[in-house]
């Protein structure tokens, strides 16, 4: 079949670079470009200077100097995903102009930026616009790929959508299994990986580890370090290789997020290593953690304590195999291709889903 032509938008706040590990959107865009190129599709990447994802052409939509200047004062060099911010106004205008120069009928326009990149979609309504991995509330496109069914239904409720949307789908977040080491045996510590904020459940982790009498290591950035109680060890923000090594050798990774998680990448990344995950019992966790087999979903302190005590009985080999089977980019790239082909077929047959 004829290769797809894809106009892929990167977010302007970070280069689409494999080493930019603190920005999940940049990492996802990099992996997505790799997936599409491995299938032989044409990818035009519109991104910040310094991006290195595989593509047929990388079109710079913001320079490093502009990016640094427009992000001055933003915590960890991140800007809110809002089209009103100068960094998005500048990059959206540049992307829209560059796409106009390259586009052809039947091309795809793809983004994970939500409403922050909506103006680019508004300018190119003749393209097949898809939000290809939705883990945010500000979704808007005619065609949407959600990271979990839990999040799709949550967003439908927020937007008062009471009838099903035939051209939406669910494809979970995708990972490269080669980045994750399998450790058949664990060391005697549990691990927290994430932002140091209350809503991520950092206080729950500290209480549970203290009550269970187990060593807790904490990896993350931002927020209030005073939330770390019990004398547990804080390692700060580490590179992705160090983080993955810590995940592989942990007794368990604990992700007790208070809010409804769209997906939670850490929970799946840990399972890629064969490490059990202990979480709260809502949102994306209900789909990614198989209760009692790949981890435990908990509702109160006693359950978290028992989960820490019992996670050593779980089969780490099964945990890793299930994660690779369900969340490998080498598997899910075919799900994306099938979805895009379906949209292309319907559009070519005159079933206009863009109106």
Q: Is the pTM of this model over 0.85?
A: yes
For the chain, list the domains and their CATH numbers.
5-174+328-348 (3.40.50.2000), 177-327 (3.40.50.2000)
C-alpha span between 173 and 351 (Å, rounded) = 29
E-strand spans in the chain? Answer: 5-9, 42-48, 57-62, 108-111, 128-134, 143-146, 169-170, 189-193, 215-219, 233-236, 252-255, 277-280, 295-298
Question: Under 8 Å CB-to-CB from 234, ≥6 apart: which residues?
Answer: 196, 218, 225, 228
C-alpha span between 133 and 172 (Å, rounded) = 8
Walk along the chain (355 residues) and give the pLDDT tens digit of each residue: 899 999 999 999 999 998 877 788 999 999 999 999 999 999 999 999 999 999 999 999 999 999 989 886 555 445 567 888 899 999 999 999 999 999 999 999 999 999 999 999 999 999 999 999 999 999 999 999 999 999 999 999 999 999 989 999 999 999 999 999 999 999 999 999 999 999 999 999 999 999 999 999 999 987 788 899 999 999 998 988 999 999 999 999 999 999 999 999 999 999 999 999 999 999 999 999 999 999 999 999 999 999 999 999 999 999 999 999 999 999 999 999 999 999 999 887 666 544 4
C-alpha span between 70 and 85 (Å, rounded) = 9
- Inter-helix orientation angle 265-272/316-327, to 10°: 120
C-alpha span between 329 and 183 (Å, rounded) = 21
Token pair 């939509």: residue: 61
Pairing of strands 169-170, 277-280: unpaired
C-alpha span between 50 and 62 (Å, rounded) = 10
């Amino acid at each position: 079949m004829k290769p797809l032509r894809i106009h892929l938008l990167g977010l302007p706040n970070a280069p689409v670079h494999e080493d930019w590990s603190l920005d999940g959107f940049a990492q996802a865009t990099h992996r997505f470009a790799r997936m599409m190129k491995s299938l032989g599709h044409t990818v035009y990447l519109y991104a910040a200077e310094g991006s290195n994802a595989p593509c047929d052409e990388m079109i710079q939509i913001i320079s490093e100097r502009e990016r640094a200047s427009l992000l001055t004062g933003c915590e960890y060099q991140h800007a809110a995903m809002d089209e009103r911010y100068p960094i998005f106004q500048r990059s959206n205008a540049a992307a829209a102009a560059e796409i106009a120069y390259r586009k052809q009928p039947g091309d795809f326009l793809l983004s994970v930026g939500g409403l922050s990149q909506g103006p680019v979609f508004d300018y190119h309504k003749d393209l097949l616009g898809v939000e290809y991995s939705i883990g945010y509330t500000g979704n808007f496109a005619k065609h949407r790929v959600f990271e979990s069914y839990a999040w799709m239904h949550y967003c439908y409720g927020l937007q008062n959508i009471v009838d099903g949307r035939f051209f939406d789908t669910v494809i979970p977040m995708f990972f490269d299994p080669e980045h994750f080491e399998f450790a058949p045996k664990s060391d005697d510590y549990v691990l927290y990986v994430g932002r140091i904020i209350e809503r991520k459940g950092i206080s729950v982790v500290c209480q549970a580890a203290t009550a269970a009498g187990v060593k807790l290591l904490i990896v993350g950035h931002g927020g209030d370090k005073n939330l770390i109680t019990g004398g547990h060890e804080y390692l700060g923000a580490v590179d992705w290789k160090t983080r993955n090594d810590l995940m592989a050798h942990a007794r368990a990774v604990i992700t007790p997020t208070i809010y409804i998680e769209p997906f939670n990448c850490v929970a799946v990344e840990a399972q890629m290593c064969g490490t059990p995950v202990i979480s709260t019992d809502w949102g994306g966790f209900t789909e990614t953690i198989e209760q009692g087999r790949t981890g435990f979903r908990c509702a109160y302190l006693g359950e978290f304590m028992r989960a820490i005590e019992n996670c050593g009985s779980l089969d780490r080999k099964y945990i890793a195999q299930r994660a690779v089977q369900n969340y490998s980019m080498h598997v899910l790239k075919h799900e994306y291709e099938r979805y895009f082909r379906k949209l292309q077929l319907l559009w070519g047959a005159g079933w206009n889903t863009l109106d």
